[in-house]
Amino acid sequence: MKVQKIFDSFMGDSIFKDKYVLQSNYTPQTIPHRDKEIEQIASILAPALRQEKTSNLFVYGNTGTGKTLSIQYLKEELLKRKDKSPLRIEYLNCKLRKVADTEYRILAELIKKFGQEVPATGLPTDQVYNKFIEVIEKEKQLIILVLDEIDQIVKKMSDSFLYNLMRINTELSKTQLSVIGISNDVTFLDNIDPRVRSSLSEEEIIFPPYNALQLQDILKNRAEIAFKKSVVGEGVIAKCAAIAAREHGDARRALDLLRVAGELTERDNLNKISLRYIDQANEKIEKDKILTIIETEPKQFQAVLVAIIQLSEKNKERFFTGEVYQVYQDVCKRARMEMLTQRRIGDIISEFDMLGLINASVISKGRYGKTREIRLAISRQIIEKAKKIVNESLGFV
DNA sequence: GTCAATTCACATGAAAGAGACCACGGTCTAGTG
DNA sequence: CTAGACCGTGGTCTCTTTCATGTGAATTGACGA
């Protein structure tokens, strides 16, 4: 039986010793090549141990450069050392949908961390605000608030929330609050209120991308714990590192690559990861990412995607917003669904651009107007799969 | 030929509506003593 | 008398629509050489 075989191979020797080490939520003991940054941050945060308010800090760097990891590490260390001093460090990721992407929800989440509950909705925001202040003022303490992906806050709402947050110290009598903002987009500092900017980035630290050699180091460290001996073939780590280095030095990417390559190897019942599995892994990651995005997208978005795919199939490479809208209207008619306005479709298209499903750039065709030039950014094989998913979900056959 | 004005086809912004969700407080109802 | 059911009000949140304004260069058309 095939099933038995599959299970057998899982029961038998795995090439993994501890796969968890390669997952993104794993916190390693050491963080290679980040000593300098960690030291800098440490010296900024150190006053907290003496009950002094620390400067607000803005940490910037691409994804997978160890920002979050470093902060988490320092958080642990600080809390270890704090003795009885009333220091609290709260970490909050502002990107998590449905958890912390509005002012209200962030406050609610923070209040929850301080051990109180607020309803998910229904209260006026300023009431939640007051509640938050009340909660943190209950006892004298020093609070360091870590806001990961802080750029999302500004993107989704205005910067007024940050402004309030920066100002909140004036409303506090006992407690003091400092903020650490983590972002992978520096440009976001440019479009926020200068007052907020200057107080948020009292201190600024940049995490540069890892280069290929550093990535190799990181991978080696983890691979030793993650895999059994002599599982990782010649050059495998170097290749993972090279691919990830090409993509902005993203360590998370490199680790994913290694993990998926391992999984694929295991699935083929081999006990040594060879180079060709890295390529496979690279494809698989890309494909999975795109397909899950497509799958989870709402119907209207899928309809737009259908339109884009149809256009790219017949009408050569590039096309424009207006064309997409026309085909989209057609798609809607066939699927018997409501049509959205062109205004909205424009937004949807730019969201696709952000997701990386398409490449779109605004161009001017002079006399013939200004529009977005759109190109599908999905490879052929994935398109077929994507088409299937989307057609099914819209009820086409 | 040169130069500014024109014009297109949208982009981009702001505001506001619709519909879903929810908390809160007041009123009504039925069950209890 | 009281707990619970049932409303109405007022709040948030998301997705949209409506209205308004912006925009970059090909085209046009007037102008001067």
| C1' (C25) to CA (A366) span, angstroms | 4
Could you tell me if residue A76 is inside a domain?
yes
Could you tell me if residue A28 is inside a domain?
no
Last-in-domain residue among A271, A288, A305: A288
> What value does the mean pLDDT take over residues A33-51?
89
Q: Does residue A367 lie within 7 Å of nucleic acid chain C, judged by its CB?
A: yes
A389 and A366 in one domain? yes
A177 and A41 in one domain? yes
Could you tell me if residue A277 is inside a domain?
yes
DSSP designation for A89: E
Q: Does residue A350 lie within 7 Å of nucleic acid chain B, judged by its CB?
A: yes
Residue numbers of the domain that contains A109: 35-206
Last-in-domain residue among A206, A237, A260: A206
> How many domains does one find in chain A?
3
- Rounded to whole angstroms, the Cα distance separating A275 from A38 reads 34
Contact, A383 vs A377, CB < 8 A? no
Could you tell me if residue A85 is inside a domain?
yes
Could you tell me if residue A30 is inside a domain?
no
- Rounded to whole angstroms, the Cα distance separating A230 from A82 reads 43
A202 and A224 in one domain? no
A257 and A201 in one domain? no
pLDDT tops 80 at residue A185: no
Could you tell me if residue A27 is inside a domain?
no
> What value does the mean pLDDT take over residues A329-344?
92
Q: Does residue A122 lie within 7 Å of nucleic acid chain C, judged by its CB?
A: yes
A82 and A188 in one domain? yes
A314 and A281 in one domain? no
A306 or A126: which leads in pLDDT: A306
With CA atoms as reference, report the closest residue to A309 among A295, A328, A290: A328
DSSP string, A352-387: HHHHTSEEEEEEE-GGG-EEEEEEE-S-HHHHHHHH
A26 or A155: which leads in pLDDT: A26
- Grade residue A150 by pLDDT with cuts at 50, 70 and 90: confident
Could you tell me if residue A59 is inside a domain?
yes
Q: What is the overall mean pLDDT for chain A?
A: 85
Lowest-confidence segment of A18-22, A41-45, A61-65 by average pLDDT: A18-22
| C1' (C1) to CA (A385) span, angstroms | 67
Last-in-domain residue among A225, A256, A288: A288
CATH of the domain at A161: 3.40.50.300
A252 and A149 in one domain? no
Could you tell me if residue A254 is inside a domain?
yes
Express as a percent the part of chain A with pLDDT over 70. 93
pLDDT tops 80 at residue A360: yes
Q: Does residue A246 lie within 7 Å of nucleic acid chain C, judged by its CB?
A: no
Handedness of CA A251, A254, A259, A262 (dihedral sign): negative
Q: How much is the pLDDT for A82? A: 77
CATH of the domain at A309: 1.10.10.10
pLDDT tops 90 at residue A228: no
A126 or A177: which leads in pLDDT: A177
A93 and A147 in one domain? yes
> What value does the mean pLDDT take over residues A140-163?
79
A51 and A185 in one domain? yes
User: Which nucleotides on chain C have any atom < 7 A from a protein Cβ?
Assistant: 10-20, 22-27
Q: How much is the pLDDT for A305? A: 94
Q: Does residue A349 lie within 7 Å of nucleic acid chain B, judged by its CB?
A: yes
Q: What is the pLDDT of residues A365-386, one digit of tens each?
A: 989 999 999 999 888 888 999 9
| C1' (B28) to CA (A112) span, angstroms | 36
Q: Does residue A344 lie within 7 Å of nucleic acid chain C, judged by its CB?
A: yes
Angle at A131 between CA A126 and CA A132, to 5 degrees: 95
Lowest-confidence segment of A184-193, A209-218, A285-294, A385-394 by average pLDDT: A184-193
Q: What is the CA radius of gyration of chain A?
A: 25
Q: What is the pLDDT of residues A229-282, one digit of tens each?
A: 777 777 888 888 998 998 888 888 888 988 898 888 888 877 788 888 888 999
A182 and A56 in one domain? yes
Contact, A342 vs A328, CB < 8 A? no
A215 and A198 in one domain? no
| C1' (C9) to CA (A125) span, angstroms | 17
| C1' (B2) to CA (A370) span, angstroms | 25
> What value does the mean pLDDT take over residues A165-183?
83
Express as a percent the part of chain A with pLDDT over 90. 22
With CA atoms as reference, report the closest residue to A338 among A329, A346, A347: A329
CATH of the domain at A244: 1.10.8.60
A226 and A190 in one domain? no
User: Which nucleotides on chain B have any atom < 7 A from a protein Cβ?
Assistant: 6-14, 20-24
Q: How much is the pLDDT for A374? A: 94
| C1' (C23) to CA (A362) span, angstroms | 11
Contact, A116 vs A149, CB < 8 A? no
